[in-house]
Amino acid sequence: MNTSNTNANKRLSFFRGCLALTLASPNMVFIPSLVFIFGIMRTLIPINFVRHGLNWFIQNILAVTWMRINTFIIWLCAHPQWDIQGTGTLRKKGKYFLICNHQSWIDILVLHRFFGGRIPTPVFFLKKQLLWSIPIVGWACWAIGYPFMKRHSKSYIKAHPERRGEDLAIAERFCKSYKKYPVTIVSFLESTRFTPEKKQRQRSPYKHLLKPKAHSFAFVLSAMGESLQHVINVTIIYPGGNIRFWDFICGRINKVTMRYEVIPIEEENLRGDYAKNRNFRIHFQNWLNNRWQAKDELIEKEI
């Protein structure tokens, strides 16, 4: 009897996974293609008010629809228990910098699932490679306005010093364009997904996290100036450890835990010249490392 139930559950989860892929495939092609086409139109048309209108349509209609369809697919096919708790007020017209640990690209779906409609549509800092490794989706992200960071290694920068500061220049242009509008800037400060191998190679002091990158975080806070008022510090936890996308859409993940805190950006604490002011740099790094240590302890407790 138990064997029969087990086989039935396996077939049901396999069906859920296939259904999710069937529904997601058009959504990964049709809407991203529309986003890309309108993005090209926005680039080519020289009339400012038309470009602004196209940009609004891309970000507030197409991008939001894309996100909501993905959220619906998760609701339909994956049925984890959602344990979400947080402190602080979320506003649709606010301006936020959202920082989060990174374990899987499912993290993006989880963030959309909860924060969608509660804060401005998230804008992600993405690796340049994604522009070509996932062609249609990558191009759509470009059209939406996601900044693509090159993230050269230290050895590459040493060999090509002229490339130093490229990412900061990209981030500065991006920040200037969003100063006047509600925005949620999302950054996975570890820059890559957590794996035990990466943790060991990096010599991370944390058990479940990689080292956070303080430089880009501090730079965005400085570039946005007083227009950016809050940081949302998010911790995503998958009890049992890291998960595979297939397991998630098959409904095999029993629980997803998320904790968040909305932190006011105080002038004396989080704004300063990170590059030139050594005392501020040490203070900022300590502030961020303390937050990461708390994340690590929370993850250890929940898994």
Mean pLDDT, range 121-135, rounded to an integer: 75
Evaluate whether residue 62 is within a structural domain: no
**pLDDT score for 225:** 77
Report the SS3 class of residue 299.
Answer: helix
Position 49 in a domain: no
pTM exceeds 0.75: yes
The verdict on residue 241 lying in a domain is yes
Looking at the domain assignment, is residue 124 inside a domain? Answer: yes
What is the per-residue pLDDT across 199-220, written as a single tens digit (0 to 9) for each? 999 999 999 999 998 887 888 8
Higher local confidence (pLDDT), 34 or 240: 34
Residue 14 maps to a domain: no
Q: How many domains does the chain have?
A: 1
Q: Which of these, 229, 223, 289, 225, lies nearest to 264 by C-alpha position?
A: 229
In a domain, 181, yes or no: yes
57-76 per-position pLDDT tens digit: 988 888 888 888 888 887 77
Alpha-helical runs (H) found in the chain: 2-27, 30-44, 48-57, 63-77, 106-115, 130-133, 135-144, 154-159, 166-178, 196-202, 214-224, 245-249, 267-270, 278-302
Residue 1 predicted with pLDDT over 60? no
- CA end-to-end span of the chain, whole Å? 31
Instruction: Flag whether 245 is in a domain.
Output: yes
Q: Which domain holds residue 228?
A: 80-302
SS3 230: strand
pLDDT digits (tens, 9 = 90+) for 161-170: 666 666 667 6
> 111 to each of 117, 214, 232, 288, how far by Cα in Å?
11, 21, 12, 21
Of 31-35, 85-89, 200-204, 263-267, the poorest mean pLDDT is in 263-267
Question: Residue 259 maps to which CATH number?
Answer: 3.40.1130
The Cα–Cα gap between 294 and 234 comes to 11
Considering the domain boundaries, does residue 230 fall inside one?
Answer: yes
